Amino acid sequence: MVNDPRTIFPKVDPPQQIQAEPGLDIKLEPLADIGLDSYQGHNRLAGRKALITGGDSGIGAAVAIAYAREGADVAISYLPEEQPDADRVIAAIEEAGRTAFAYPGDLKDADYCRELVEKSVAALGGLDILVNNASRQIWAEGLTEISDEQFDLTMRTNLHGSFRVTKAALAHLKPGASIIFTSSIQAYEPSPTLLDYAMTKAAMNNLSKGLAAELTPKGIRVNSVAPGPIWTPLQPSHGQPQEKVAGFGQQAPLGRAGHPVELAGAYVFLASDEASYVSGETLGATGGSPTP
Ligand code: NAD
Ligand code: MG
């Protein structure tokens, strides 16, 4: 059977809607496909142990569910107010017959970053895969509208959080391990309304290449995934102005926003032995927008 990528998933045509940051997946209108009914595993990560930041919703949730169905035990982090979303993902991991570990907290807190890694390692009995996925994205009408406080919050969440979690994880990662960062089409085509956020996404590409240079000779692969417009709670929780929430993603060459589950395969590939010769790479899943 051949499926047309323009129509294989339901077209997202969201009405204007607003949620408080960080937003809940279960309140999205329409609901996004995180793989609950659509992702089928093939045992490609049998016995692995993975930590996924922001694994409660959106892309991180789709990756968590996919990893569990591929045979991995999965730890997820998220903010305490996202517990209703996390509960859905924890149930899916356990239904797949795998161990789930959930540890809510704020990645802006350095102690939490370290505790998250240590508690996940203890709960899962090791760590083979780290997915740095959590981020904040708050739109602003240009540089002068980004307050110093907002800038600081974005940097501390997206940059400091990823740096600290990765640094703590390195003590536990052995040859065969895989680190994956989440970049964005915004790393290459920054929107004037997302200047601070876009900077942090370019940094994910840069860090994954630099860290790959350090770790690949030690048998640890490091890569990034760069999504295009994906329908997740990031967008209607001040991630975009309201006029961009309605019609979200329809400017992509495929003519529609992506669903989180459409990113799962990229993260599974980069974590699995199928990507054994892939390190220092950024894999775009942009709906057809070219990346450099
Ligand atoms: P999402 O809102 O579902 O996920 C982001 C998660 O980040 C939240 O669930 C939350 O748990 C976490 N987070 C935010 N601030 C935090 C903090 N201070 N402490 C701890 N956790 C915090 O949205 P998503 O779109 O699935 O985002 C996942 C990743 O994908 C992000 O890195 C984002 O930059 C990236 N991305 C998304 C898109 C898109 O169109 N949705 C496009 C490109 C890249
Ligand atoms: Mg969330």
Q: Does some domain include residue 219?
A: yes
pLDDT tens column, 56-103:
999 999 999 999 999 999 999 999 999 999 999 999 999 999 999 999
Looking at residue 276, its pLDDT comes to 98
Q: Does some domain include residue 237?
A: yes
Q: Can you give the residue range of the structural domain that contains 267?
A: 43-284
Mutation test residue for ligand 1: of 25, 59, 197, 254, the one with most atoms within 8 Å of CB: 59
Q: Does some domain include residue 129?
A: yes
CA pair distance 13, 247, nearest whole angstrom: 6
Q: Does some domain include residue 289?
A: no
**Ligand 1 pocket list (CB less than 6 A):** 22-23, 54, 56-60, 78-79, 82, 106-108, 133-137, 157, 182, 184, 227, 229-230, 232-235
Nearest alpha-carbon partner for 113 in 158, 150, 65? 158
Which residues have C-beta under 5 Å from ligand 2, the single-atom ion?
56-57, 82
pLDDT tens column, 92-147:
999 999 999 999 999 999 999 999 999 999 999 999 999 999 999 999 999 999 99
Q: In this structure, which residue's CA is closest to atom 44 in ligand 1? A: 184
Stated length of the chain? 292
Catalytic residue annotation = 197
Looking at residue 198, its pLDDT comes to 98
Q: Does some domain include residue 222?
A: yes
Q: How many CB atoms lie within 10 A of CB 206?
A: 14
Looking at residue 230, its pLDDT comes to 98
Q: Does some domain include residue 5?
A: no
Q: Does some domain include residue 37?
A: no
Confidence band (pLDDT; 50, 70, 90) for 55? Answer: very high
CA 56 to ligand 2 centroid distance, Å = 5
Q: In this structure, which residue's CA is closest to atom 31 in ligand 1? A: 135
Q: Does some domain include residue 203?
A: yes
Q: How many domains does the chain have?
A: 1
DSSP, res 10: P
Q: How many CB atoms lie within 10 A of CB 160?
A: 17
129-132, strands of its sheet edge to edge: 100-102, 73-77, 49-53, 129-132, 178-182, 221-227, 282-285
pLDDT tens column, 207-227:
999 999 999 999 999 999 999
Question: At 105, which CATH number?
Answer: 3.40.50.720
Looking at residue 201, its pLDDT comes to 98
